Chains A and B, each alone.
Chain A
Amino acid sequence: MIKQMKAPSARKKQGHAAWADYGPAPESISHVKIKPRYELFIGGEWVSPASGKYFDSINPANGRVLAKVAEAGPKDVDLAVASAKEAFKTWSQTSGEERARLVYAIARVILERARELAVIETLDNGKPIRETRDIDIPLAARHFFYYAGWADKLDEAFPGMKVSPLGVVGQIIPWNFPLLMAAWKIAPALAAGNTVVLKPAETTSLSVLHLAEIIQEVGVPKGVVNIVTGFGETGKMIVEHPGVSKIAFTGSTEVGKLIRKMTAGSGKKLSLELGGKSPTIVFEDAPLYEAVEGIIDGIFFNQGQVCCAGSRLLLQENIAPKFIRLLKDRMRKIRIGDPLDKNVDMGAINSKRQLEMIERYVQIGEKEGALKYQTPFVCPKDGFFFPPTLFTEVETSQTIAREEIFGPVLAAMTFRTKEEAIDLANNTFYGLAASVWTKDVAKMIEVARAIKAGTVWGNGANKFDAAAEFGGFKESGFGREGGPQGLWEYVHFEELGTVPNSSSTEIELGTVPNSRIWKTPKMLIGGKQVRSESGRYYKVLSPDGKFLADVPLGSRKDIRDAVEAALKAQVSWAKSTAYLRGQILYRTAEILQSRSSELVQVLREQTGCDGASAQKEVSLSLNRILYYAGWTDKYTGNVNPVTQTDFNITYPEPMGVLGLVSPELPSLLALVSKIFPAIASGNAVIAVPSEKHPLAAAILIEVLDASDMPAGVVNLVTGKSEELSPILAEHRAVAGLDFSGPQELAKKIEELSISNMKRTWVHDPADWTSSQAQGRSWMRRYLEFKTVWMTALS
């Protein structure tokens, strides 16, 4: 057994190095002025809340009240949104250069007041001064610097696109990095020309209110940034406010789901940075001592109250005993105590509520049979402190291996092979981050690509930079912060590309026959043309009521089978070369072209449209497939300029299995417009063709079957959109759903999407034949960005 070291005070008595204590090193707080009472910051003024209500902000290191903070009610939120709306008129027209100067000025002043802000943050949040001083505050300034630089070159951020601000943006931030999260939110919003109504968490309002002072001081116009303090109720008012165009939220998955539900069908743009249960994989050939340190940074940084905390440790079995010993040795060297002490590593948990939550999880961990190890520690009795905690012998089924604890609690498990490591890493409904430790670069890259997470650190942990995107896969939310993708969340865009009006290929008009050979369309599931599972059909009629065909009436079981087939196909489809995917798309276009006069005929017959528009639809569809065939090997990411000691890339990855529900018209073009960008980048899809006009899709099914498209990559399930769409929306293995259809159904779809926080798109381009229905943004739509950090020094 490893001998446990005694608490610091006891240690003094033993050993010959008793002199070697660091002793206290308190940060001076005499230069910091915390006001007894803080008002709301609305329209550039400090405003008392209409209700006259204030709440306490507490120093979690000693439980004492630091200040009173205004609680914003509906009238205050109305006022804040109104002043943001008013300010938007001029701010959105202000030149990029001017916005850049102001955002830059915020960064400058943050740095000038870094010490003051660091102390305020530490007092209000409980995190150690070494973190606020070295990480929170400098990184907050870094984000303002970074986005200041985009303000005057927005058009260059997204080639081929014209972007414009969204309007009033509602932002709700958590208590774990108050000022930093405010910077992550405000900087890109302002750079892009939006105005802001931001609500900090109720336990940590102060640093954000001091940021408001800075914003006021540097001359950002009144109303551009409004800060409304308060509880969840206040946040809800912002989310539901009709004057708000976008909601950006960082916080728990639970609240994220509520926000998704509240905004369903509203058309508000949404970015959600939610929870995580991020894995740290340590291979036998890892740099062990650095890995130990990485785990310390991964799970004990900010007392473990980090959304991307490395809370699951996966150790290769053959090094586990040695590694656990090194880790425990290192854990005993963590210094817990007064967060204002410059030699302290871990401060207080942010609130009593959070502390109790952590304690509850630790009890559950013990009850469920995991082995607990805690370092002995001595710290102030009246604050909310919790020691570094390691659980070994954790199994995947245990609560502490599955749920986010948001505290300094690490769950360690072992694996035998690389494949098992990847499996275990992905065995979670979260997908925020991961950390991989090995000196084998090939293994590193393979594993980094295989993990479904927005950020992967290679031989590192919890590294951040404004130039590197950060955000989630799966239930960790969507949208990115940092980098150009972080800016994308704050703009409207318009495709600048043009779409030719006619095809260079002549398509024969064809004639509508009076009689033909009887043909029954099928569905396409897993590469097979099949009838519906139930054996049921529905009749498709021409506009004048003529019977055209019996079409399979798909049901939930067909969706189930299609999703299974797509899941099976997607991994190898994504792994195939982009070149091969491109070739298969080109070949599909070729075959479709050979059926073009038949398609024209079917479109005319089915919809009663004239020959010219049917011709145009078919030729645009062909062009569109060719267009995306060419994108397969071109849409890619960036190497981000972060530090010299790290190599950092952000690149797009397919989301996985997507549901695509086509509008009634244009039945072929809209279907093609969704399927082909989605599969070009490696997704597999379940498409639901136009319910009324499914016959063009029936031909597409034959074409796909005849092409080299691997089984299961494209599945087409015909039937009633109203029935099939909600099944797709609820299916937890479906990563995203692009829905065209009535507004009420769109709302329902978005409400149901919280089953796994799938991405949704429910707004069609006004005209599917226009340039807005094709382009780079459509490639972007079905991809998720992953950022990989790799150490680059020897």
Chain B
Amino acid sequence: MPETIAKTRRNPIHRLDLDVLRRLQMDATGVYDRVSKITKTRNPKKENQRNWLLHAASMIDLTTLEGIDTPHRVRRLCQKALRPLIDEPEIQVAAVCVYGNFVSEAKRALEGSAVKVAAVSTAFPHGQIPLPLKIQETKALVSSGADEIDMVINRGAFLRGDYSRVYDEIALIREACGEAHLKVILETGELGELQNVWTASEIAMQAGADFIKTSTGKIGVSATLPVSLVMLNAIEDFYLRTGCRIGHKPAGGIRQAKEALHWLALVKETVGDDWLTPDLFRFGASSLLDDIARQLHHLKTGQYESYDYIPKG
């Protein structure tokens, strides 16, 4: 059984299996119902909630992806990554996520820590450049020290049904990553039906993704719980077939601590406790951290916190 396969085994590039894609069936009403049930009936309180929030903080990819980013801005973010919660010196986030220009800067700022540097690649967020340039970009980022690469899939190819093109691009980028881990952004807000989310997830996992990620955060619709549920089911299904554990990263629009708790509950209820680790679950977020800080303050003191008391990242 898959359990016997070592947890450390990295997902390889698999052969593209279109038959599997055709067999995947999901029902959106059921997905929405399940999400509603989980959010209503899986809410840790008090000490449990505190534990959950601290772990949520440690699973954050603290992100800045702006045209106006500067080295100083990135350094400030890295400092926040190392001490995300003033009252909790033990906690650090999982990674910082930046544009390729700032990989070296971030590496320097985080040197000696366990916080990873993730860089967006493949002409994030649109991905509309020739494939050789995407490969070249990825290789350059890895050689400048990126631990993780966040790529976007070719949504145009996906929507016109050219699944092998989507697969090929991901597999080639995966090769270009070398030892760096690959997160594949599906940009689910552009995929239309929920069923497509599963199909895209499966292609990405077959092509060797280490993580499947919902969104770039650059379009109107970013991470939602129903989309994550479908992706987590896809991950479970893939795990049952291959024994490979793929990570999941919802990104974009997650700002409240309560939402983060819902996501953790979603993970726990689907793929299970084994996935509740930064190795297999991340939040792509920036302001989420500050709301977690506020909620922790409230849990500790019973008083409501102001953002004025929380250092900016």
A-side residues, CB < 8 A to B, are 2-3, 15-17, 19-25, 130, 134, 285-291, 293-294, 322, 325, 329, 333, 342-345, 439, 459-460, 645-646, 791-794
With A794-B194, A794-B195 as contacts: A17 and B29 at CB distance below 8 Å:
no
Task: Decide: B269 and A333 in contact? CB cutoff 8 A.
Answer: yes
Task: Decide: A293 and B47 in contact? CB cutoff 8 A.
Answer: no
Task: Decide: B264 and A130 in contact? CB cutoff 8 A.
Answer: no
Interface segment out of the listed B65-73, B130-138, B273-281: B273-281
Q: Does B48 contact A (CB under 8 A)?
A: yes
Task: Decide: B30 and A294 in contact? CB cutoff 8 A.
Answer: yes
* Assembled-state Cα–Cα distance A646/B194 (Å): 16
Q: Which of the residues B27, B47, B237 comes within 8 Å of A290, measured between beta carbons? A: B27
Q: Which residues of B contact A345 (CB under 8 A)?
A: 41
A20-B264, A459-B29, A791-B29 known, 4 other contacts, Cβ within 8 Å: A15-B274, A17-B276, A23-B49, A646-B29
A-B contact pairs, 10 of them (CB 8 A): A19-B55, A20-B268, A20-B273, A24-B45, A285-B25, A290-B26, A291-B30, A293-B30, A333-B269, A791-B29
* Assembled-state Cα–Cα distance A687/B28 (Å): 49
Task: Decide: A342 and B30 in contact? CB cutoff 8 A.
Answer: no
* Assembled-state Cα–Cα distance A794/B31 (Å): 10
Q: Which 7 A-B pairs have the closest CB atoms?
A: A290-B30, A23-B48, A791-B29, A17-B273, A287-B27, A793-B28, A17-B276
Task: Decide: A459 and B27 in contact? CB cutoff 8 A.
Answer: yes
* Assembled-state Cα–Cα distance A15/B276 (Å): 10
Considering the complex, give the chain A residue whose CB is closest to the CB of B55.
Answer: A19
With A286-B25, A289-B26, A794-B195 as contacts: A21 and B269 at CB distance below 8 Å:
no
* Interface-centre pick from B3, B23, B48 (highest chain A CB count, 10 A): B48
Task: Decide: A287 and B30 in contact? CB cutoff 8 A.
Answer: yes
Task: Decide: A22 and B31 in contact? CB cutoff 8 A.
Answer: no
Whole-angstrom distance between the Cβ of A223 and the nearest chain B Cβ: 40
Q: Which residues of A contact B1 (CB under 8 A)?
A: 2
Task: Decide: B276 and A20 in contact? CB cutoff 8 A.
Answer: yes
Q: Does B9 contact A (CB under 8 A)?
A: no
Total cross-chain contacts (CB, 8 A):
103
Task: Decide: B41 and A791 in contact? CB cutoff 8 A.
Answer: no
Task: Decide: A287 and B240 in contact? CB cutoff 8 A.
Answer: no
Task: Decide: B41 and A342 in contact? CB cutoff 8 A.
Answer: yes
Q: Which of the residues B48, B233, B274 comes within 8 Å of A21, measured between beta carbons? A: B48
Task: Decide: B25 and A287 in contact? CB cutoff 8 A.
Answer: yes
Q: Which residues of A contact B34 (CB under 8 A)?
A: 290, 293
With A289-B233, A343-B42, A345-B41 as contacts: A19 and B51 at CB distance below 8 Å:
yes
Q: Which residues of B contact A293 (CB under 8 A)?
A: 30, 33-34
Q: Which residues of B contact A344 (CB under 8 A)?
A: 41
Q: Which residues of B contact A792 (CB under 8 A)?
A: 29
Q: Does B46 contact A (CB under 8 A)?
A: yes
* Assembled-state Cα–Cα distance A791/B43 (Å): 28
With A16-B277, A17-B277 as contacts: A23 and B46 at CB distance below 8 Å:
yes
* Assembled-state Cα–Cα distance A459/B30 (Å): 8
* Assembled-state Cα–Cα distance A285/B1 (Å): 24
* Assembled-state Cα–Cα distance A290/B264 (Å): 20
Task: Decide: A793 and B32 in contact? CB cutoff 8 A.
Answer: yes
Task: Decide: A460 and B277 in contact? CB cutoff 8 A.
Answer: no
Considering only residues 139-195 of chain B, those with a C-beta below 8 Å from chain A are 193-195
* Assembled-state Cα–Cα distance A657/B174 (Å): 66
Whole-angstrom distance between the Cβ of A130 and the nearest chain B Cβ: 5
* Interface-centre pick from B1, B28, B193 (highest chain A CB count, 10 A): B28
* Assembled-state Cα–Cα distance A343/B261 (Å): 13
Task: Decide: B3 and A3 in contact? CB cutoff 8 A.
Answer: yes
Q: Does B211 contact A (CB under 8 A)?
A: no
Q: Which residues of B contact A459 (CB under 8 A)?
A: 27, 29-30
Q: Which residues of A contact B195 (CB under 8 A)?
A: 794
Considering only residues 229-282 of chain B, those with a C-beta below 8 Å from chain A are 233, 236-237, 240, 264-265, 268-269, 272-274, 276-277
* Interface-centre pick from A16, A23, A289, A645 (highest chain B CB count, 10 A): A289
* Assembled-state Cα–Cα distance A333/B269 (Å): 7
Considering the complex, give the chain A residue whose CB is closest to the CB of B50.
Answer: A19
Considering the complex, give the chain A residue whose CB is closest to the CB of B26.
Answer: A287
Q: Does B311 contact A (CB under 8 A)?
A: no
* Assembled-state Cα–Cα distance A3/B3 (Å): 9
Task: Decide: A22 and B26 in contact? CB cutoff 8 A.
Answer: no
Task: Decide: A17 and B274 in contact? CB cutoff 8 A.
Answer: yes
Q: Which residues of A contact B194 (CB under 8 A)?
A: 794
* Assembled-state Cα–Cα distance A54/B274 (Å): 54
With A23-B48, A793-B32 as contacts: A343 and B43 at CB distance below 8 Å:
yes
* Interface-centre pick from B27, B30, B55, B240 (highest chain A CB count, 10 A): B27
With A134-B40, A333-B269 as contacts: A322 and B30 at CB distance below 8 Å:
no
Considering the complex, give the chain B residue whose CB is closest to the CB of A643.
Answer: B29
Q: Does B52 contact A (CB under 8 A)?
A: yes
Q: Which residues of B contact A285 (CB under 8 A)?
A: 23, 25
Task: Decide: A23 and B276 in contact? CB cutoff 8 A.
Answer: no
* Assembled-state Cα–Cα distance A573/B23 (Å): 37
Q: Which residues of A contact B55 (CB under 8 A)?
A: 19-20
* Assembled-state Cα–Cα distance A322/B26 (Å): 16
Task: Decide: A25 and B264 in contact? CB cutoff 8 A.
Answer: no
Whole-angstrom distance between the Cβ of B33 and the nearest chain A Cβ: 7
Whole-angstrom distance between the Cβ of A677 and the nearest chain B Cβ: 38
* Interface-centre pick from B33, B193, B268 (highest chain A CB count, 10 A): B33
